[in-house]
Amino acid sequence: MSQVIIYSNSNGGVSVCVPTGELPINEVLAKDCPAGAIIVDDSTLPQGADAQFFDAWVLSNGVVTVDATKKAAIISAQQAQATAKASALAKLTALGLTQAEVTALIG
């Protein structure tokens, strides 16, 4: 377990500062982080599947949680992107393009 510095950022999310160890963490906090930043153990941050929804993290009363509304919006955007890619793939394949050509166009 290691310590990190967390704080709410201007985007409404959470910033995580991971010190390099060159300076004590308290010095990094004072030197490089805004007022209100706190030191926490990294094990208190969202883990597992919730860790992938970093853009949905929120900091409240010293605890980082995953905002359900933000998480749902991220999932919806990912699904829309996957659907659009599948649709483009189907259309390009229907035009007679080879798999290599389709991959070159849409990845």
Q: What does the pLDDT look like over 13-32, one tens digit per residue?
A: 999 999 999 999 999 999 99
What pLDDT score does 87 carry? 84
Given a cut of 80, whether residue 102 has pLDDT beyond it is no
Given a cut of 80, whether residue 66 has pLDDT beyond it is yes
Given a cut of 80, whether residue 7 has pLDDT beyond it is yes
What pLDDT score does 107 carry? 67
User: Residue 93 — very low, low, confident or very high, per pLDDT cuts 50/70/90?
Assistant: confident
Q: What does the domain layout of the chain look like in residue ranges?
A: 3-66, 71-106
pTM of the model: 0.71
Q: Average per-residue pLDDT in the chain?
A: 90
The percent of the chain in helix, strand and coil, each rounded to the nearest 5, is 50, 20, 30
Q: State the DSSP string of 11-77.
A: TSSEEEE---SSS-HHHHHHHHS-TT-EEEEGGGS--GGGGGGGGGEEEETTEEEE-HHHHHHHHHH
